[in-house]
Amino acid sequence: MTTALLEPGQAVPDFTLPSQHGEEVSLQQFRGKKLVIYFYPADMTPSCTQEACDFRDYTGAFKEVNAEVIGISPDSLKKHDKFIEKYELPFRLLSDEEHQVCELFGIWQLKKMYGKEYMGVVRSTFLVDEEGKLIQAWTKVKVKNHAAEVLEAAKRYDAGVK
């Protein structure tokens, strides 16, 4: 089931998913900080690797604006472990193998590739404020310069510019 995407100012639905460390991570844990939630299709693929590495490279800049980054995909925790180790990712990757959170956010959708149709993750990012409300959402993300664009949105939000 696909739900409508959130609008800026709306409360982001709470969720709990396992991270690569085996702990349960929920949206509530990030209250008091901004949160970048990026959804991606699969570990170790070229675009997903580039996106993860771009967010990795901006980790310090996100921390400067009191923001944390988490990635969510349908991949297993074991696959996340390998991805994190290979690319030295400093943030949590959460496993949504049953794609419940992807559905909650409305980004588990029918996709087409090489003439075949299948259900999958539409690459999307959600920037959430310190109280759990949506600042901005990006769907059908093009990876190039995306992490920098999200960082700029967080900076604009801090400066009071919408």
Give the other-Cβ count within 10 Å of 67's Cβ.
27
Q: How far apart are CA 136 and CA 151, in angstroms?
A: 11
102 is catalytic: no
**Would you say 80 and 40 are in contact if contact means Cβ atoms under 8 Å apart?**
no
**Would you say 82 and 43 are in contact if contact means Cβ atoms under 8 Å apart?**
yes
One of 36, 48, 93, 141 is an active-site residue; which one? 48
Longest dimension (CA), the chain: 45
Q: Would you state the structure tokens that stand for residue 105, as one six-digit string? A: 């956010």
Bridge partner list, 38: 71, 125
Q: Per-residue b/e over 91-121, b at no fewer than 16 CB within 10 Å?
A: bbbbbbeebebbbbbbbbeeeeeeeeeeebb
Residues known to be catalytic: 48
